[in-house]
Amino acid sequence: DMHGNAVALSGRDCSTQRHFQKIFEEGPPSIVPKATFTQMERAAQRLTQNLGYIGAGTVEYLYNAAENKFYFLELNPRLQVEHPVTEELTNVNLPATQLQVLMGIPLSNIPQIRNFYGKAPEDTTSPIDFMQDTYVYPTKHVIAARITAENPDDGFKPTSGKIERIKFQSSVSCWGYFSVGANGGIHEYADSQFGHIFAHGTTRE
């Protein structure tokens, strides 16, 4: 925020990729021990604080499970299309939080952030040390799947053509959105992704 604070809103695992493009993204990361993941969060917080970064961003790491070590990849200074995974895990509306931060409101004064740290609704003043205090660990698992127009018989190359039918019924635990509708199409210059499905449950299974 504008007051030098940085909060880590859990995390996501995007290991499942094809042609360097994410296919599935899920959270919280299940392969990383919690103690190591906390180190990753703290490192991300220190990075953004040292940069004087203000706003939402995603710090990405490579994780070596055999050695339990992680390596910095990049900082994406924006919301990513998988941000609903984080929102479902944390109950924090990221676009709304970003706007509040840019209005100059300290992170510790934002109700959804306080709730993420287990603060009661009537407690609006007790301090939060984002580098020391722990948040309420998510009680659910969330998975996002990209829906793409690709040809598996041709090395999963992007394909174009007409969409004859899209039928998907969202529910409380599974919802999706699509950039095309019935009688629409995907032209040859478009990205192969045309939809996203998000689902959550009490466990990964």
Residues recognised as catalytic: 78
Residue among 80, 79, 83, 121 at smallest CA distance from 102: 79
CB atoms within 10 A of CB 29: 19
Interacting residues of 89 by C-beta distance below 8 A, sequence separation 6+ = 9, 10, 27, 28, 138, 140, 142
**Residue 198 bridge partners (DSSP):** 144, 175
* Sign of the alpha-carbon dihedral angle for 134, 96, 3, 104: negative
User: What tokens appear for 105 in the block?
Assistant: 């409101």
